[in-house]
Structure 1
Amino acid sequence: MKPICGIIPPVVTPLAAQDQLDEPGLERLIEHILAGGVHGLFILGTTGEGPDCSYAVRRAMIDRTCRQVDGRVPVLVGITDTSYAESVSLANYAAECGADAVVAAPPYYFSVGQPELQDYFLDLFDKMPLPVMLYNMPSCTKVNIGIDVLRRLLEHPNMAGFKDSSGQMVYFHLALRLFADYPEKSILVGPEELLAESTLMGGHGGVSGGANVFPKLYVNLYNAAREGNLSETRRLHELVIRVTDLYRVGRHTSSTIKGIKAALGCLGICSDIMLEPFRHFFAEDRKRVQAVLDELLPRMT
């Protein structure tokens, strides 16, 4: 496949109940995101509560998304799991459904050393029926993928690229330097606060949670930064930073996903139900989300 570049929103998983996909909401959400001109969709990632989803919901999410997208943009499927066998099984199912790539972060329960991490991913890459986007998410997995390990993994033909959600720009720049020798592979940034900077410095795009709500904003920012339009990049970056106020409505680390889901609920796109152990925002916090939307929506035209 071509290098995975641009804005690849980490799609939330709309729920009708704890173990039931909100299928009409998912359909509306996908069409809403695609209408913003995004370059792909990433399902079952952190924002999609992937590791908390039952395997039945994961498979339903893969099947419904691939059928609805129908090749319009690449679909990337998160397969991160504590079980190697389950990651392989889900990757095979994603391939059967027509997905374009899978995304894998380190196993997240037992602590793992760098040599073990390297061997794990090399074994996983060998078993994959699809290209793999490697995912660095140390806040959730307790391990940072070291630069030396990344250098070795880049040599594997089944590694399509790298998503870095460490939030550490020195690390990102060191990783970015490795990709000069692999023009067919891409490096994406996770935190949207760093989308402008990373793209201006040669990164290939972002996996931006706020693009669930305002997809066109993130596409426009990516395009402006790629073209070197600094004044427009600065203007759009300021809007993106305002969007991230949605993530600070609550008091806990789950507030990012809650804020995105609450915003989508306020817009009538999909349900804001969260998977256990989390709860959706209640009335007072939902009003604060609505206030942010009321300010932002007129500025999105």
Structure 2
Amino acid sequence: MGQRLTDGPLRGIVPPLVTPLTPDEQLDRDALERLVENVIAGGVHGLFVLGTTGEGPSLSYSVRGAMVEASCEIAAGRVPVLVGVTDTSLAEAIDMSLVATEAGADAVVFAPPCYFPIDQDDLASAVRRLAAESPLPVMLYNMPALTKTIIEPETVRQLTDEPTVIGLKDSSGDLAYFRQMREVMRQRSDWSLMAGPEHLLAETVAIGGDGGVCGGANVFPRLFVRLFEACVSGDAAASQALCSRVDRLGDLYRLGSNPALSVIQGIKAALAERGVCAATLCSPFSPLCNGEIDMVRAILRDVEAAEDLTKVVSPTAAPV
């Protein structure tokens, strides 16, 4: 059994799982099982479903529910499962928290609602209502590039008085903000502070971060687990070598033409090459074009150069 969130702050590598889709955009449960088994075999410390990498906001509610239920069933308590509930509707976010509870998830993750601008007072009120009505603890998610709203440090400080709010995932890429969050969170020893941008994992752990929600861990979980362990142990040489592979993997995310989607496109293309799931994205968005697949293959070859990072996909995995 993995760490439970009641045991203390979540620490380590928590992949934001992609959502494997069939050609008709239903959940591909067999592919999801391959994905979950691969990342757990790679030593990850939790799973985050329906986040940005999981295309959560684009999916139908039926597929979201199926993804939550199947992920929890496959994980079977081996690691904590966190569920993204962000929505333009607070009522829908609360309803998804009930779905997550019924499925056996461990926490929900909530970013500011988008479309209508929201001020900090209303944002704090939304979090407090979710915290009151969700049976599961709530992790905040700062993703200003997509939500167009920063969860300001003072708002986070105010929310430290909510006992069921348990931390923050910061995907801003702003190290100054991350440092501020580390200071704010000293008020709550049970809070986790996780970083989103994987190229900043080593720097954020050095600041006092608790780990990373790294999209690349869908493809190479062992790489990110080893990097986290090297950072925590202070092994600078290993950390530097592993960071170079993370940087090379990051070339995947510069292949697409839409910066908001290129991470998802790159990761799904890599997973397709490794026999895990199809490269299909939720409509209306497209996968990488065929002309970019040779570059995906070159990146994978470079990152796989280390023997212990070779694929852990079951030899019975179906071709995709």
Matched, 1:49 2:55: yes
Contact conserved, 1:19 with 1:54, CA < 8 A, in 2? Answer: no
Aligned to 1:11, the other structure's residue is in SS state coil
Query: For residue 156 of structure 1, what is the aligned residue in structure 2?
Result: 162
Q: Distance in 1 between matches of 2:100 and 2:253?
A: 30
Structure 1 counterpart of 2:178, which letter?
F
For the residues of structure 1 that align with 2:220 and 2:184, how far apart are their CA atoms? 32
State the Cα deviation string for residues 37-72 of structure 1 (Å, max 9, x = none): 000000000000001010000010011111111000
State the shift of 1:292 in Å: 0.8
**Whole-Å Cα distance in 2 between the matches of residues 170 and 29 of structure 1?**
34
Partner secondary structure for residue 155 of structure 1: coil
Quick one: which amino acid aligns to residue 220 of structure 1? Answer: R
Which residue is 1:265 aligned to?
A: 272
User: CA–CA distance in 2 between the matches of 1:160 and 1:17?
Assistant: 37
Matches within 5 A, 1:175-254: 175-253=181-259, 254=261
**1:276 and 2:283 matched:** yes
Deviation at 1:284, TM superposition (A): 1.0
| RMSD, aligned α-carbons | 1.0
SS of 1:46's equivalent in the other structure is coil
Aligned residue among 95, 101, 119 for 1:89: 95
Deviation at 1:300, TM superposition (A): 5.0
Residue 132 of structure 1 is matched in structure 2 by 138
Q: Distance in 1 between matches of 2:12 and 2:170?
A: 14
Matched, 1:17 2:8: no
Residues of 2 paired with 1:300 and 1:97: CA distance? 37
Paired residue secondary structure (2:276): coil
Length-normalised TM-score, structure 1: 0.98
Report the 3-state secondary structure (helix = DSSP H, G, I; strand = E; otherwise coil) of the residue aligned with 2:43. Answer: coil
SS in 1 for 2:271: helix
Opposite residue 47 of structure 1, the aligned amino acid is: T
Secondary structure at the aligned position of 1:188 is classed as strand
Rounded to whole Å, the distance in 1 between the matches of 2:179 and 2:66 is 37
Q: Secondary structure of 2:306's partner?
A: helix
Q: Which amino acid aligns with 2:289?
A: F
> Quick check: 257-266 or 284-293, which moved more?
284-293
> What secondary structure, in the 3-state scheme, does the structure 2 residue paired with 1:187 have?
strand
The one-letter code sitting in structure 2 at the alignment partner of 1:290 is: R
Distance 1:170-1:18 versus aligned 2 partners, 3 A rule: farther
1:185-228 alpha-carbon deviations (Å, 9 max, x no partner):
11000000110000112100000000000000100111111111
Runs of 4+ deviating beyond 4 Å: none
* Pairs aligned (count): 301
Matched position secondary structure for 1:62 = helix
With over 3 angstroms needed to count, the CA separation of the structure-2 counterparts of 1:300 and 1:188, relative to structure 1, is farther
User: Could you tell me which of 277, 297, 303 is aligned with 1:296?
Assistant: 303
Contact 2:160 2:187 in 1 (8 A): no
Aligned-partner Cα distance in 1 for 2:283–2:160: 36
What residue is the counterpart of 2:83 in the other structure? 77
1:139 and 1:201 map into 2 onto residues whose CA distance is 22
Tell me how far apart the structure 2 counterparts of residues 64 and 120 of structure 1 sit (CA, whole Å). 28
> Mean alpha-carbon deviation: is it higher for 213-222 or for 228-237?
228-237
**SS class of match (2:288):** coil
Partner deviation per Cα, 1:17-37 (whole Å, 9 max, x = no partner) = 343011111110111111110
Aligned equivalents of 1:37 and 1:243: distance in 2? 19
Shift in alpha-carbon separation, 1:232–1:214, aligned structure 2, 3 A: same
> CA separation in 1, counterparts of 2:246 and 2:187?
31
**Does 2:258 match 1:256?**
no
* Structure 1 unmatched runs, 5+: none
**Residue type at the aligned position of 2:243:** H
How many Å apart are 1:299 and its aligned residue? 2.2
Deviation sequence 1:276-301 (CA, Å, 0-9, x none): 22101121111110111122212252
Percent of paired sites with the same residue: 47
Residues 110-140 of structure 1 show CA distances to partners (whole Å, capped at 9, x for unaligned) of 0011111111111111111101110000011
Q: Is 2:87–2:113's contact at 8 Å kept on the other side of the alignment?
A: yes
